[in-house]
């Protein structure tokens, strides 16, 4: 009964969420589009000509935003490679790989798809399945962030950037420390489209050391 009440409350909040309504109106697949749009407005991350990797891409709203930003005169100027464990409906011009980013063979497929292209921007909206056990979930979240950081270290060009979703809690300070060891510039961002009750925060690193 309690779970049903929670689900009903969540559905009510979701349906009445202004960002959900805006996403439906503007053709984005999820409200998460506005998180990236807001961060990009502040930090000017996405430009035509870029090679962008979108980790944890499904349903595709971040890839949609990137596609808009790198399209000039109707033509895609750049590359978008998206990856997720779940299926993603096609987006014109977006190269999609379905697989678990934590598995080596999936990382190899991603590297093969990139070929010799140095990456300008890595985006990670990945979030593992949560158990409800705080210590376990914190470890899972940090692990996913670490994998994104390792990938960025291997594939980013010198002036590239990495934006990852993280959460306040155990391991967050250590994650920030790793970012500061890796990047010349590190910032945190909490866009307005992040739900107030959510502890999610985005870490942005720019320029490899």
- Report the distance separating Cα 84 and Cα 91, nearest Å: 14
Known binding residues for S-adenosyl-L-methionine: 60, 62, 84, 100, 125
Assign 88 to helix, strand or coil: coil
Tokens 């093969």 appear where? 112
Contact 164, 148 (CB under 8 A): yes
CA distances from 52 to 15, 25, 67, 70, 164 (A): 31, 26, 10, 10, 13
Contact 161, 122 (CB under 8 A): yes
> Does 35 qualify as catalytic in the annotation?
no
**Where on the phi/psi map is residue 115: left (φ > 0), alpha (ψ -120 to 50), or beta?**
left
Query: Are 66 and 38 in contact, with CB atoms under 8 Å apart?
Result: no
How far apart are alpha carbons 123 and 37 in whole angstroms? Answer: 12
User: How many angstroms separate the CA atoms of 138 and 191, rounded?
Assistant: 21
Catalytic residues: 165
């Amino acid at each position: 009964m309690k779970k049903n009440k929670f689900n009903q409350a969540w559905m009510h909040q979701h349906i009445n969420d202004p960002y959900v309504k805006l996403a439906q109106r503007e053709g984005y697949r999820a409200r998460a589009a506005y998180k990236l749009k807001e961060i990009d407005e502040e930090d000017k991350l996405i430009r035509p000509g870029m090679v962008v990797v979108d980790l944890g891409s499904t349903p595709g709203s971040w890839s949609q935003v990137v596609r808009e930003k790198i399209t000039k005169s109707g033509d895609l100027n750049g590359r978008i490679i998206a990856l997720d464990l779940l299926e993603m409906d096609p987006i014109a011009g977006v190269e999609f790989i379905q697989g678990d980013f934590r598995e080596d063979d999936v990382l190899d497929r991603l590297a093969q798809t990139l070929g010799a292209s140095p990456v300008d921007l890595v985006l990670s909206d990945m979030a593992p399945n949560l158990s409800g056990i705080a210590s376990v979930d914190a470890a899972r979240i940090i692990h996913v962030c670490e994998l994104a950081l390792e990938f960025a270290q291997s594939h980013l060009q010198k002036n590239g950037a990495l934006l990852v979703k993280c959460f306040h809690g155990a391991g967050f300070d250590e994650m920030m420390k790793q970012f500061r060891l890796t990047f010349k510039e590190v910032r945190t961002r909490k866009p307005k489209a992040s739900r107030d009750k959510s502890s999610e925060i985005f870490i942005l690193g720019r320029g490899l050391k």
